[in-house]
Structure 1
Amino acid sequence: MTDTMRAIVWPGTGEDLRIEQIRVPQPQRGEVLVRVTSCGVCHTDLHVMKGEVAFPSPAVLGHEISGTVVALGPDTPPVRGVDVGATVVGAFIMPCGECRQCLRGRDDMCLPFFAQNRLKGTLYDGTTRLYRQDGSPLSMYSMGGLAEYSVVPINALAPLRGEVPVVAAAILGCAAFTAYGAVHQTAALQPDETVAVVAIGGVGSSIVQLARAAGAGKVIAVDISDEKLAAALELGANHAVNSSSTDTVAAVRELTGGAGVDVAFEVLGRQETFEAAVKMLADGGRMVAVGIAAGASTANVEITPLVRRGLKVMGSFGGRTRADLPAVIDLAADGVFSVDDMVTRTYALDSARDAFDALARGEIHGRAVITMEN
């Protein structure tokens, strides 16, 4: 293994991504060095690039990866099958395993993850693992997966199994993992319940698959793109509603006999879609907000219907890594969740800018991945 690697560096808001040769990171206690095979292309990274989500720069972004373990940090025993030589998937929520939230099983609320990684771009000793060749530090967004090698806390990894293709498997660490948390942990979706999925990107498409697998009675896909809606129907949605040409709330209520849906998943993070998702709910329904919003965006919810009709509005950031990431991998290995159907574009590392430009233009349905091949 060489001392340097290629990485995509984000210099800061308003500046273009660029490929650089930086130092290969070294894992510390409780961490693993992964040779990255591929990294997913996610809207959350795009929010960071646009300055819509605050994050320190310069940085290496990329937060859902697949790859091969090449080293364990000092005094780091293998856990849950994560050992040298294992093919693994890395989840964007990287639990410390020791804080109050982790000890009660709420990996998605890990205190050091939010305080150190999301606010400061470091791992849990308060330092980054990524440095330019001149020794200047680079922030890490999750594991900084847009690079040939990545240091990942061992609690954020799970071994891949079955015949799941390793390149496409990267999306299991965010798109599928986020959807799993929304469907099974936050919504606690029950068989025969009706569902609306508002915005059919990578996470929305995953929710469609997982809701069908959980036994939803009816799944209604909502988007402005006919192409994305057609893909959602292929993934198992029963109905598609184009919100650019239709009164979305009225259409969803008509498709449910006027009642509304039991669960609406809002996966875009915009005021209008957030408010529409609440209005789609049946009495006693749950709206699960999954999409990250730009800046300090807000939405209006009518108080009286919320009270009288017993509605619930809940946020869902992701799954509970140590339990849910293996569960997501099992679904993919068993053919319940198809990564092949989800991954619609593949880019080389040198073309990362093209990938995010296409994402920003709304051209990618499902998910795109970036491979570390030339």
Structure 2
Amino acid sequence: MRASVLREVGADLGVEALADPRPGYGEVLVEVAACGVCHTDLHVMKGEVAFPAPCVLGHEITGHVAELGAGVSGLNVGDRVACSFIMPCGRCRHCVRGHEDLCETFFAFNRLKGTLYDGTSRLADLDGKPIAMYSMGGLAEYAVVPATDVFPLPAGLDLNNAAILGCSVFTSYGAVKNVARLGVGESVAVVAVGGIGLNIVQMAAAFGASTIVAVDVSAEKLALARELGATHVVDASEEDAVARVREITGGRGVDVAFEALGAATTVETAIGSVDDGGRVVLVGIAPAGVTARLNIAHVVRRKIQILGSYGARARTDMPAVLELAATGRIQVDPLITDRFDLDGAGAAYRALDERRIVGRAVVDVKPKD
């Protein structure tokens, strides 16, 4: 099969011929239709997040079931499916407590070693040398995915566009519902409205937020945030974002501030934007070692909660995300502002690095119907 391979940190992606993968017990072979372009992959490419190389990146996919491994039920060859970036083992201490976003097996085997849960990768060169998998390694014509992370795609959803449901939308759902526990009528600020921040905007609207303030330095992104449900926008390149958020909310600040970039300045903006007793939910992944300052007395005296959010719970939350999209409570198609083919995957990540992607980009591994 053809796959986009990262041979070493700092190198460009190049399409190569790899051995056709096969699913093991409890696994599904997916013929990939499309793969979302995510900043976390870019962190790996730049060496900001440690991961083995050579590897195949790409961690939010859609496609068709091509083959079922032994022990898999509830799916059929040919089914349209979507997969999230967290692939729960279903057996570790966190999974059995319903906290699949903390799956120890996923982090120990996949995120540290680039393998599935028997300690081996399903990807290899034609001469048999292993290629690491970042999640399922979705920038390829085929991907092997644990059956715990393969979900039927509702009719009516565009197969290729729906790829972004597996990370961008999935992560936003986890942040809004599970971590912030956003209540109807609460006020929200979303600091940095890129691919994930835009989804937090529309997810907050879907869960009944009364005021949704989008903060960014890009007029294009702020305009798209308005289309997706933001009631107010703040251009942080032109005005003091914290002061403006507080002005919008009558001097109080918002009930919940989401930070969706992973930078010290945006984290500090989020902390400064919340009301007394407010929640700050950190969603953006920062390069290893990045820290942010906080006024300890302010956080303590104002009873501010600072919460981390990483993804969501695949087996319970991915079906809910698919339902939200299928019923139109959240939108998918307007979020996709850029498309690339598999040969153009390297160009996609260069565009992302240069902040030329307004919403979310998708790599169409198979041409879009």
Q: CA deviation at 1:148?
A: 0.4
Where 1:100 maps in the other structure, the secondary structure is: coil
| 1:48 corresponds to 2:44 | yes
Q: Find 1:278's aligned residue among 271, 283, 286.
A: 271
Q: Which residue of 2 aligns with 1:148?
A: 141
| 1:21 corresponds to 2:20 | no
Moved more, 89-98 or 343-352: 343-352
**Which ranges of structure 2 fall in alignment gaps of 5 or more residues?**
none
Q: Which residue of 2 aligns with 1:236?
A: 229
Q: Which residue of 2 aligns with 1:255?
A: 248
Q: Find 1:343's aligned residue among 316, 336, 348.
A: 336
Question: Separation in 2 of the partners of 1:223 and 1:83?
Answer: 44
Question: Separation in 1 of the partners of 2:295 and 2:148?
Answer: 41
Cα deviations by residue, 1:245-268 (Å, 9 ceiling, x for unpaired): 211111111111100010000000
| 1:180 corresponds to 2:149 | no
Q: Find 1:304's aligned residue among 294, 297, 322.
A: 297
**Which ranges of structure 1 fall in alignment gaps of 5 or more residues?**
none
Where 2:94 maps in the other structure, the secondary structure is: helix
Cα deviations by residue, 1:148-184 (Å, 9 ceiling, x for unpaired): 0000011112111131101100000000000000000
Q: CA deviation at 1:76?
A: 2.3
| 1:60 corresponds to 2:53 | no
Where 2:18 maps in the other structure, the secondary structure is: strand
Letter in 2 for 1:205: L
| 1:333 corresponds to 2:329 | no
Question: Separation in 2 of the partners of 1:174 and 1:189?
Answer: 20
| 1:362 corresponds to 2:358 | no
Q: CA deviation at 1:84?
A: 2.0
| 1:138 corresponds to 2:114 | no
Question: Separation in 1 of the partners of 2:97 and 2:344?
Answer: 41
Cα deviations by residue, 1:32-61 (Å, 9 ceiling, x for unpaired): 000000000000001110101110100000
Would you say the 8 A contact 2:32–2:366 is kept in 1?
no
Question: Separation in 1 of the partners of 2:345 and 2:120?
Answer: 26
Question: Separation in 2 of the partners of 1:54 and 1:102?
Answer: 24
State the number of aligned residues. Answer: 367
Q: CA deviation at 1:111?
A: 0.7
Q: TM-score, normalised by structure 1?
A: 0.97
Q: CA deviation at 1:373?
A: 3.1
Question: Separation in 2 of the partners of 1:214 and 1:373?
Answer: 34
Cα deviations by residue, 1:56-89 (Å, 9 ceiling, x for unpaired): 10000000000001111122223xxx33221110
| 1:205 corresponds to 2:198 | yes
Q: CA deviation at 1:112?
A: 0.4
Moved more, 197-206 or 58-67: 197-206
Mapping for residues 311-322 of structure 1, pairs under 5 Å? 311-322=304-315
Q: TM-score, normalised by structure 2?
A: 0.98
Letter in 2 for 1:258: G
Mapping for residues 41-190 of structure 1, pairs under 5 Å? 41-78=37-74, 82-190=75-183
Question: Separation in 2 of the partners of 1:337 and 1:368?
Answer: 18
Cα deviations by residue, 1:94-130 (Å, 9 ceiling, x for unpaired): 0001111111111101110000000010011111000
